[in-house]
Amino acid sequence: MIVCHCNTISDHEIRAAVDWMRAADPDTLITPGKVYRALGKRPDCGGCLPLFLDTMRGCDSLGVPMQLRGLRRAATQGNGHEGRQESHRISQ
Ligand code: FES
């Protein structure tokens, strides 16, 4: 199935690129931009990104490396407001 019509990228090519990147570097974060680069292409209209991401999420090897998991949770623990000043909060 063609996922990106601008660049004629299929779901098979996306899965192969994700598997190849994971095999080459088990600790890397795999993003759509990296997949495009691995395929030697660049996104054009961006209309395929929702389906592109869904295809990537379907890959068994896409997982986030263990040492990068929970970073957001760790950053927000302690003050409870994600680093924003209280004046930036939406009033209730
Ligand atoms: S359909 Fe993928 S960039 Fe346009």
The 3-state secondary structure of the chain, one letter per residue = CEEECCCCEEHHHHHHHHHHHHHHCCCCCCCHHHHHHHCCCCCCCCCCHHHHHHHHHCCHHHCCCHHHCCHHHHHHCCCCCCCCCHHHCCCC
Q: What's the pLDDT at 69?
A: 72
Average pLDDT of each block of 10 consecutive residues along the chain (92 residues)? 96 94 90 95 95 92 74 64 62 61
pTM summary value: 0.72
Q: What's the pLDDT at 71?
A: 72
Residues with CB under 6 A from ligand 1: 4-7, 43-48
CA distance linking residue 49 with residue 21, whole number of Å: 19
Q: What's the pLDDT at 80?
A: 55
Q: Probe ligand 1: pick from 13, 41, 44, max atoms within 8 Å of CB?
A: 44
